[in-house]
Amino acid sequence: MDRPAGYNAMELMVCCAARLLEDGAVVAVGTGVPCAAAMLAQKTSAPNLVVMFEAGGVAPKLPTMPVSVGDSRTFHRGLMATSMCDVMETCGRGLIDYAFLGGAQIDPYGNLNSTLIGADYARPRVRLPGSGGACDLATLCWRVIVVTNHDRRRFVEHLDFRTTPGFLDGPGAREAAGLPPGTGPYRVITDLAVLGYHPDTCRMEVLSLHPGVTPDRVRAATGFDLAIPEPVPETAPPTAEELAILRGQVDPYRYVIGRAPREVLEGSSGSA
Amino acid sequence: MIASEAGDGPLFLDPSADRARAHFRTKRRGLADKVMTVAEAVRAFVADGDYLAVGGFGGDRIPTATLHEIVRQRKQNLGFAGHTATHDFQILAAGNLTGRGRLLAKVDAAYIVGLESRGLSPHARRVMESGEVDVCEWTNYALAVRLRAAASGVPFLPARTMLGTDTIRRSAAKVIACPFTGETLVALPALFPDVAVIHVHESDRFGNARIRGTTVADLDLARAARKLILTCERLIPDDEIRREPDRTAIPFFCVDAVCEVPFGSYPGNMPYEYFSDEDHIRTWLGVERDPAAHRAFLDRYVFGVSDFNDYINACGGLERMRQLRARELLLDGGR
């Protein structure tokens, strides 16, 4: 695919995610892009960003990319190594601002499927991991950011299984179902665009297209009606400083930024 | 709106706290020497049809040695708490569809089949897509709360999760109203596993155990389980436990067997001891694409070895463990 020279889609996605995290916020992350984004934010605009992992790691000084959200990197020189219940209960008390998630399918209301592909629950075509901590984090954290590849297989009108709540069936549905008021989907960052949700309809809409991406291309990669503003803003490309820190300090071995975008999040939930 | 007021998934275990109390009343609780081999512990405390739960986080501080032994002894028709289950689930799934009966019969699924960023296990997928295993959906937090309810000696605890999803529809949870505020909550039934297996850093011969790093759900799991097998990196003297009792994470009266297994979480990560062996896990995932290659792999590494030490030696022995220790301690520059 055509990209302006100098950076790849994965590097742009990490930068977009990092820019969403303000200094002093608390974020629950998984491995991969979310971890890289949090590390980049800490080294640029948000030095006091607090990172938590669902297995119990709190505020580590990540020496390398973790392989697992429970491995020893997730509390390396951290401030606490605690339990899953402690982290989830911290979410439940309203202390965690952002959660990063992924999924095999996402619908217009930001609901996620990471459980199965197919119509028959007892004999699925593909059994996926299930919720992991995703449903918990999407219920209890204030804002959910999804990072995923953008194609018609993932962006679907109807999920095969609603593992994790977005805005459910639209305005007011989260509150009616008993989810904590004021919580919900916030942004979707893909290899084509940055997306948000319309405040009245709760449906996904484009906020900016990445450099070189046309509205038709995004529509073709989306399995539901997608509002695109006219004229459409362009995503700011990575700055030289962001790229230098990302490549030199955050991910020097290119575990995340070296992955071709199509391989990312393949059939896995964003957190174990 | 939510699809239903209660999940229609199967409840695999009795959540009655009173019946659990009756069992715990009969449990041997005195200070007794419980040191034995893993093979002895699995023979004594894992029965066909038991419901099993495993400590750690899938590939981190997992009781690999005991899981291999359960597969090697061909235990049948087990239930399993699929809580943050990754490589541990992959090991147990080797007891299904490999010509040795059906090891897994019932799975409470919060996280199964996947190995996080490493991808999905082809064989675990085959097992879970075959229809030969009954499944009930949960979340990681929901299963942790179910263990906490059991550890607390109550038949359920409320939590705020799964509302509005198909996850709750396929669970065995019930939606309730808070008796004080009227808010919508989810009642999660206590989970008392028949047997739990947890790998720890240090234990004395009675089962007083220390854990370093994150505890995941293991403090509650140890207290919820009817039977508990502990494996430890090192046996330590009882005097050492008494010198610093604040470091005891699991008390002796929860424990039925203590097995000393150095490198017992391999190829998983053991915090402060050794990092995960990503090459070995990648190889295991790779051979699963071909059922014949998978069976040959299992014959070599699980069924063809006499104990866990044989497995460690087949995987590179002390030299490999030294490399993984260097990796854990970042002596290799973090590569």
pLDDT at A261 over 70: no
CB burial readout B89-124, b (16+ within 10 A) else e: bbbbbbbbbbebeebbbbbbbbbbbbbbbbebbbbb
Are the beta carbons of B214 and A126 separated by less than 8 Å? no
Interface check B181 vs A, CB under 8 A: no
For B124, name the nearest residue in chain A, comparing CA atoms only. Answer: A127
Is residue B1 a part of any domain in this protein? no
| CA-based nearest residue to B309, from B321, B299, B297 | B321
Which residues of B fall within a CB distance of 8 Å from A135? 139, 161-162, 165, 167
pLDDT score of B122:
98
Residue A83 is nearest to which of B58, B216, B272, comparing CB atoms? B216
pLDDT score of B278:
96
Interface check A183 vs B, CB under 8 A: no
The residue with tokens 């995340």 is A256
Distance between A233 CA and the closest CA of chain B, angstroms: 32
pLDDT at B328 over 80: yes
**Environment class of A24 (CB within 10 Å of its CB; exposed 0-12, middle 13-18, buried 19+):** exposed
pLDDT score of A260:
61
pLDDT at B5 over 90: no
Is residue B233 a part of any domain in this protein? yes
ipTM for the predicted complex comes to: 0.96
Is residue B313 a part of any domain in this protein? no
Interface check A45 vs B, CB under 8 A: no
pLDDT at A222 over 70: yes
pLDDT score of B3:
41
Distance between B318 CA and the closest CA of chain A, angstroms: 21
Is residue B25 a part of any domain in this protein? yes
Sequence-distant contacts of B29-37: CB under 8 A, at least 24 apart: B29/B253, B31/B206, B31/B252, B32/B206, B33/B205, B33/B206, B34/B205, B34/B206, B34/B207, B34/B252, B34/B255, B34/B256, B34/B257, B34/B258, B35/B205, B35/B235, B35/B258, B35/B259, B35/B260, B36/B257, B36/B258, B36/B259, B37/B259, B37/B307
| Catalytic residue flag (residue A263) | no
**Per-domain boundaries in chain A:** 9-262
Q: Give the distance, in angstroms, between the CA of residue B136 and the centroid of all CA atoms in the same chain.
A: 17
d(C-alpha B284, C-alpha A229), whole Å: 48
pLDDT tens figures, B40-54 = 999 999 999 999 999
**CATH 3.40.1080.10 is held by the domain A9-262:** yes
pLDDT tens figures, B162-171 = 999 999 999 9
A66 preceded by a cis bond (ω within 30 of 0)? no
Is residue B92 a part of any domain in this protein? yes
pLDDT tens figures, B281-296 = 999 999 999 999 999 9
Mean pLDDT score, B177-189: 97
| CA-based nearest residue to A31, from A39, A20, A43 | A39
Are the beta carbons of A31 and B116 separated by less than 8 Å? yes
The count of domains in chain B is 1
pLDDT band at B95 (very low <50, low <70, confident <90, very high): very high
Interface check B265 vs A, CB under 8 A: no
d(C-alpha B89, C-alpha A152), whole Å: 31
Interface check B96 vs A, CB under 8 A: no
Is residue B299 a part of any domain in this protein? no
Are the beta carbons of A55 and B328 separated by less than 8 Å? no
pLDDT at B239 over 70: yes
Interface check A108 vs B, CB under 8 A: no
Domain that holds residue B155: 17-272
pLDDT score of A5:
56
pLDDT tens figures, B299-314 = 999 999 999 999 999 9
pLDDT tens figures, A114-131 = 999 999 999 999 999 999
pLDDT tens figures, B248-278 = 999 999 999 999 999 999 999 999 999 999 9
Q: What percent of chain B has pLDDT over 70?
A: 98
pLDDT tens figures, A4-63 = 458 999 999 999 999 999 999 999 998 889 999 999 999 999 999 999 999 999 999 998
| Torsion region of A78: left, alpha or beta (phi above 0 gives left; psi -120 to 50 gives alpha) | beta
pLDDT score of B332:
80
Task: Find the catalytic residue in A11, A54, A205, A242.
Answer: A54
Which residues of B fall within a CB distance of 8 Å from A267? 114, 119-120
Are the beta carbons of A67 and B2 separated by less than 8 Å? no
pLDDT at B4 over 70: no
CATH number for the domain harbouring residue B93: 3.40.1080.10
Are the beta carbons of B148 and A85 separated by less than 8 Å? yes
Identify the DSSP state of B216: B
d(C-alpha B142, C-alpha B157), whole Å: 10
Identify the bridge partners of residue A204 per DSSP, sorted by sequence position.
A197
Which residues of A fall within a CB distance of 8 Å from B275? 71-72
Q: What percent of chain B has pLDDT over 90?
A: 96
Mean pLDDT score, B199-222: 98
pLDDT score of B112:
98
Are the beta carbons of B125 and A127 separated by less than 8 Å? yes
For A251, name the nearest residue in chain B, comparing CA atoms only. Answer: B335
Residue A83 is nearest to which of B117, B219, B271, comparing CB atoms? B219
Interface check B292 vs A, CB under 8 A: no
Mean pLDDT score, A167-178: 97
pLDDT at A259 over 90: no
